[in-house]
């Protein structure tokens, strides 16, 4: 399905990023894996090599640093020459009420979730617009749609900003043959979910909020990302696909 396609995944060292990377590689794509921790991306690369025999390009990158993002795309240019698909997935959270949160914690969330996304799209869109093709899928979260519960102001605000960036990029780049969409996962069984689970009564607490009665799996997000990146979604642009078990419908 994606044979001879190059796919960049940020935050590829675990969770959703790892699942997306593995799914694209299994569908024939050549993958570029990046994250702040090179070791975890190498673990993802090992899984891809074992499953497919392919050898991903692994590049350490802090998406909030433009010099890192510039280096990433230089490495990508040298090895592939073109980029067909990008899944921008890197993101962090920081719990805290607005009246109690430290400025540095708030800024750190925005540096990764908003500025980091902007930097990645900036460097990616330059290349895709020049080549006249390409697809970007951004990982946004249901928090980009509404405030879920208190104590998540920094994360929720950053994801609202990421949603606006996604739609702006779709509008700006459509004439160049580039599509930009987003996927909005609900609670997904990842390390980040487990770390935040105490605020809602554990994983079971999350599950009780979802009409389908369970949290999602990273592979279910990977399937949605693949569809958005495929030719089957060729007229889908500026859209946000909720993958949340009915969470936002409740």
Candidates 6, 23, 141, 173; catalytic one: 141
Sheet containing 30-35, strands listed edge to edge, beginning at the edge strand earlier in sequence: 57-60, 30-35, 6-10, 85-88, 134-139, 178-185, 240-243
CA angle centred on 220, ends 16 and 231, rounded to 5°:
95
User: Annotated catalytic, 155?
Assistant: yes
Nearest to 37 by CA among 7, 18, 61, 10: 61
Candidates 5, 64, 144, 155; catalytic one: 155
User: Annotated catalytic, 176?
Assistant: no
List, by residue number, the catalytic residues. 141, 155, 159
């Amino acid at each position: 399905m994606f044979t001879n396609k190059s796919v960049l995944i940020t935050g590829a060292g675990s969770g959703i990023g790892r699942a997306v990377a593995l799914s694209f590689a299994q569908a024939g794509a050549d993958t570029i894996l990046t994250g702040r921790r090179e070791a975890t991306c190498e673990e993802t690369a090992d899984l891809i090599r074992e499953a497919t025999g392919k050898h991903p390009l692994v590049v350490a990158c802090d998406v909030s640093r433009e010099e890192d993002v510039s280096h990433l795309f230089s490495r990508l240019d040298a090895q592939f020459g073109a980029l067909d698909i990008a899944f921008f997935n890197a993101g962090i959270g920081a719990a805290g009420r607005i009246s109690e949160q430290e400025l540095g914690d708030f800024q750190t969330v925005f540096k990764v979730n908003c500025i980091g996304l902007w930097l990645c799209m900036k460097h990616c869109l330059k290349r895709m617009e020049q080549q006249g093709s390409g697809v970007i899928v951004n990982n946004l979260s249901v928090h980009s749609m509404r405030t879920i519960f208190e104590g998540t102001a920094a994360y929720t605000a950053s994801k609202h900003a990421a949603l606006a960036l996604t739609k702006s990029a779709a509008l700006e780049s459509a004439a160049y043959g580039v599509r930009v969409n987003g996927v909005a996962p609900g609670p997904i069984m990842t390390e980040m979910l487990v770390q935040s689970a105490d605020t809602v009564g554990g994983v079971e607490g999350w599950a009780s909020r979802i009409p389908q009665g369970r949290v999602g799996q990273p592979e279910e997000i990977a399937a949605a990302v693949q569809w958005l990146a495929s030719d089957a979604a060729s007229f889908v642009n500026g859209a946000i696909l909720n993958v949340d078990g009915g969470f936002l419908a409740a």
